[in-house]
Each structure stands twice: as structure tokens, then as C-alpha cells.
Amino acid sequence: MANGSDSIQFIKGVGQKRAELLKKLGITSVDALLHFAPRRYLDMTVFAPIGDPISDEPVCIKATVISPVKEIHFAKKNISVFRFTVKDDSGEAVITLYNMRYLAQTIKPQQTYLFYGRLTGNLIERAMTAPIIKRPEQAGIWPVYPLTPGITSYQISRIIAEALRASLPVDPLPEEIQKQYGLCSLKDGLYALHFPKTPKDIAMAHRRFVTEELLTFRLACAVLRHRVITIQAPIVTLDHTEAFFDSMPFTPTDAQRRVVRECMADLQSGQPMHRLVQGDVGSGKTAVAAALCDSVIRSGFQAAVMAPTEILAAQHEATFRSFFEGTGITCALLTGSTPAAQKRAIKADLAAGRIQLVIGTHALLTKDVTFANLGLVITDEQHRFGVAQRAGLSAKGTATHRLVMSATPIPRTLAMIIYGELDISLLDERPKNRQPVKTYCVTPAYHERLWRYIAKQLDDGRQAYLVCPLVGSAESDETDTPSEETGGLLSSEELYEQLRTGPFNNYRIGLLHGRLKSAEKDRIMQEFSSGALDLLVCTTVIEVGVDVPNATILVVENAERFGLSQLHQLRGRIGRGSHESMCVLVSKKQDNDRLQCLCRTNDGFAIADEDLRLRGPGDFIGHRQHGLPLFRLADLSRDMALFRLAGQIADTLMQDDPSLDKPDHHLLKQQVERQLKQSDL
């Protein structure tokens, strides 16, 4: 994409009036033309007969006017309605125009026009309302731009044409790259984007600019990786992982051993480790993290583990403390609710090096938390932290090794996009002692049977979760799709009241949702964890970091409202002990292929692939708060082939010129630097 520095020349070249309109559209440089790419195109080169079967898609008909244009008067003011009939060889249609007096006055009987719009009607009568109308000699592909008050798409096209004639910058893509990978030039691409003559022109422009956008992103990630390997990092001299695993009460999986070896190679390389460990629910990520902390600490460095919630941080601290009991390794828990005096003592001990391992929340990021010799930072459920937060903890050491962990399986292609600057390790094997969770999909008609089954399990000493998409009856803030209508959805508050006063009035029931204060949420979760509550009615606040081995039943109401990956995460709250566990998805939509996928498999990576296919990458992982780049032109559910092509080009460029310092790469390097700055990478 063009450099934005040509804005002054660009504006001067089109004249004052045009420049004012361009500024109104937000176009201040040729580069900004790509921000204002057509929203869609009207293909008025292919004509559909009026008598064809009705389609939901707009069509273009070529027809002759066979009646005078009549104005229909309504009592309501400021509405002018004009109607006339047109005909082609296959049939007739009634055309209706609203408030288009000037256009209506130009329509003449016995003249032929092109009408673009949606045909409606039946076998007897066809109609088209408010179509776009052109003369036959105007047949072609017409771009439609985002609506701007007071400016038509035709005016925008004229302005862009004049702007492109006035100024065209140097192409940032080297000519040899264009030839080698079949990409058109910047000039040809811009004209094809805004003034296509055939569908092939649109495809050519799409290929050029989407590939360029994805290439800039891939190069930004490659530049980050190149910067990392040039930094001298602490060398972990002692690999103590075998002795650590030998001391554990479990046998590590082959996947755990493999991932630890990959991480240890990074820790001993002299370059900072920047690695993502992806593991399905129950794959043993915590044990991997502990094994690495063990070697790092025994080599003379400190380690820090950051979790997104106090519940998860406390669970990690208890687990790590049990792992390191009797080893002499000192652990501490630092969260927002840690008492002030205890906080001061922990911070002093960290600064002096007396605490070797600290587990905490965002509290670790405060300025007064310092380390004597921080060597390793581990971020758990890292997608819940912003980029700056993740980097902030690492900055408390010098060239600190960084490990990020996620229990949300992500398809490898998408992981390459979100975590392009990280190496990726997969924990794709479950410990042998973990039982698969049986999953069933039922309708609300099964509620009474379900309540009886849960009561029997509670009588046997087990516990259960009941998950709802809403907090209250009229809210949607905690649903997976908050913009949808919430009518007919069961809220956690409603279900809690129904069960507390009905079938479970003799049991201990808790209510947990995101609107409660942190202290209240922690208290309720602690009561459930300790067995003081039998049944927990909740929203998705339990999705991550809740470990209650005695909980064996999970019921999800209105399960169709959740994504597959989110349902899989919720399912991961059970099956954590030795008892058989069951997940029940309650939905009126029994033919829902998404939910049946959950019933067929417990493989989180297979589920993630299906979720990505069905919902696309934006809905799959969320948007910018989860690190997914918001591309202007690329659609990753459609353009994965171009993403792979951009990767090939990036690899070629980085092998030849890793710093992008060659003259031919100067403009491309500027784009990469802007990408790094905009993404806060």
C-alpha cells in the first residue's frame, strides 16, 4: 500500500473542491483509497430474465418501459411514489421508485433500461422496488462505496478517478515479487479496484491488495522474531526436568516431555524464548510450566506466573507449592486482595531475591513490583491479557524468557496469525488418568428427568454446574452473541430461583455471575470448591480456571447460544477427578450440527477446526482484545490461500534481506513499521 506521506501532493493535484470532498470522505492520500475500497460491486453485464425463478440475490434485468410513469399520492407528507411497468421476452415487472422525482421524469415509455435490484412477487406478478437504473450503454461493473451523507457513489468514483490521474506513488512491492507471485502493479490494482471492467479485474485487485496486507502482517511478525534472536538472554544451565518428573506422583505424557524439551532448547540457546504452549483441557500445561520453573530457579533465576483471575492464581499457587514442597524453592501469591502488609513483604522479598517463584494476577504489573533476577515469565490464559500487559511483566527482567499458555485450542493457521511472533508447541495428549466426558444434547422437555438424575448424583456426594447464557431475564451482556434477541432464554437468576424453591429446595445452591463483586465471586467459588455448595448456577465466569474434581455434571442451558470452543471450555470444568462425568447441552435445536460435534468428540483441536469453519476467525477468538488483527480487506475465512502465499513471500524476503534495508524494500519496510506501531507489537 502506498505511503501516506504523499498527502499534500495528492490533495493539491485534484483541486480545492475535490480536495474538500476527499477530506470529508477521510481520503487524504492515495493510501487512504484502500481504506475507502468499494463495499460491493453491481454487476450490470449479466442480465436475468424477469420470468426466472425468484432469487434472494439482487439481479440486473434489461427491460423496456411499456407504461407511462405514474405518481401515486399519499396523505403522508414528503413521500413521492412513482410506478411504471417494464417488459422483456420472459415477462413483465412493476418498478416502484420513492422520492426520485428527477429520475422518474427521465424515464420514457418504449425506451430500454437496465434495472438492478431484488425481484419479488409470484408466478403472476413481478416487482422491483427502488432499483438502480442505467442506460444500456452504461452496462458494466459499478462500485458501491460506504454511504456518506450528501455524496453519491458516482461522485466518489469521479473524485477517485481524478485523484488517481493527479498522483500515483511508487509501488511498495518490488517488481520481481509481483512477477514471481502473479501480483498486479499498484497502478493496475487501484484502477481495477475502483473501475473494474470485468469480474476478473475485481479478482486481480483483491489478490494484489489482500496479499499485500497479509504480507505486511507476516513481515511484521518476522521482524519481531528477527529482533528477538539478536538479543542475548539468560542461559538456563541446569536441565532438571527428568528429576522433577521423577518426583511427581504421576507419569508425564510423551507430549509433556516433548514440549519441555522444546522449551529447554530455547532456555539454553542464549536467545529469549518466545513460545506459546497450546494444550487442550486437562493436557497438563501446569506441570510443564512447573518443570520449566524448576530448572530456571535451580539455574539462579526467578520465575513469575501471571493468571487472569484471583481464583486461577490461587489454584496455581497451591499446585506449584505442592510440586515444590521440600525442595527449598520459595513461592508466594500476589493478587489485588493480598493484605497490604503481606504485599509489602512479598515485594521486598522479590526485590531481594528471597522469593524465587511468584504467582499472581495483574498485581504483578504494578511499578513497585521488582525482581532481583527475573529469568522466566509465564502468562496463563494469555488471550485474556492485552499485548501491553503481557509485555509489561517481561520488561521487569533483562531479555526475559517468555512462555504463554492457552487452554483454548486454536487451529494452527489461526494461531500463526494471532501469535505470529511466537514459536508454537502443542500438548496434544491427555494424561491417562483423565476420563473422557460423556456429552448429550437434549430438549428442554427433558428437564424433569435431568433434575432427578442430578439429585441422585448430589445424594451420592457429587456436585454440579448449571450454566445459563444470561445473568437476568432482560440482559444479554454475558451471552456469546449479545446482539441477538434474548427472548426465550433462561437466565441464571431465573433458574436459581426456580431450583431453589422447587426441585432442589433441600440442597445447597449458589449463584455466580459476572456482575458480582470480585470478593463475592471468590467466596462463592471457594464454597463450591470446598464442598459447602452442592449445585452452582452460573454464567460463563466458570469457563476458565475452576478446578473442582468432585463436580461431575455440567448442564448448559440454551447451548446453541455458545460457540463450540466455549462449550468445550465449559465442559472442561468436569471430568477432573476419578468419577465418571456427564455434560448435557439443553437446546430446542436438536438438529444443530454444532452441538452434535460436541457429542461426537472430546478432541479440542478437532472442535476448534469446526468452530473456525462455522463461525470464522473473528467470532472464534473475539476481536482486538484477544489479539486478532483487524484486517481492512482480508477475510481470513475466505483468504487463507492468500495468507499462505503471503507467508511464502515473507520467507523469501526475510531470507534475502532480514532487516528490509535494501532500496527496493524501503517502502515495504515503512509499511511494516507502521503495522508494528499500530498493533503495539
**What single string gives the DSSP state of each residue in 60-106?**
EEEEEE-S--EEE--SSTT--EEEEEEEETTEEEEEEEES-HHHHHH
Confidence (pLDDT) at 72: 83
Share of the chain above pLDDT 90, in %: 47
pLDDT digits (tens, 9 = 90+) for 91-143: 999 999 988 888 888 999 999 999 999 999 988 899 999 999 999 999 999 99
- Highest mean pLDDT of the ranges 64-68, 488-492, 613-617: 64-68
CB 556 within 8 A of CB 528: no
Query: Is the backbone of residue 74 left (phi > 0), alpha (psi -120 to 50) or beta?
Result: beta
**Residues 648, 232: Cα–Cα separation, whole Å:** 28
Q: Which three cell numbers stand for residue 243?
A: 528429576
For the segment 437-487, what is each residue's pLDDT rounded down to a tens digit? 999 999 999 999 999 999 999 999 999 999 998 887 544 444 433 334 444
Q: Given this model, what pLDDT does residue 96 score?
A: 94
For residue 298, give the C-alpha cell: 535451580
Distance CA(635)–CA(650), nearest Å, equals: 19
Q: Does residue 414 surpass a pLDDT of 80?
A: no
pLDDT, tens digit (0-9, with 9 covering 90-100), for 68-93: 999 887 656 678 899 999 999 999 99
- Amino acid symbol at 311: I
Residue entry with cell 430474465 = 49
- Pick from 192, 199, 4, 157: which is nearest to 184 by CA? 192
pLDDT of residue 677: 73
**pLDDT value for 577:** 81
Helix (H) or strand (E) segment spanning residue 329: none
Query: What is the identity of the amino acid at 314?
Result: A
Please name the helix (run of DSSP H) or strand (run of DSSP E) that holds residue 266, with its range, or none.
helix 254-267
Predicted TM-score of the model (pTM): 0.67
Does 5 have pLDDT greater than 60?
A: no
Phi-psi region of 381 (alpha: psi -120 to 50; beta: other; left: phi over 0): left
Residues counted in the chain: 681
pLDDT of residue 282: 77
Buried b (16+ CB within 10 A) or exposed e, 275-310: bbbbbbbbbbbbbbbbbbbbbbbbbebbbbbbbbbb
Confidence of residue 23 (pLDDT cuts 50, 70, 90): confident
Around Cβ 150, how many Cβ atoms within 10 Å?
7
Give the integer Cα–Cα distance in Å for 60 and 157. 21
Residue 624 pLDDT = 35
Q: What is residue 419's predicted lDDT score, i.e. its pLDDT?
A: 65
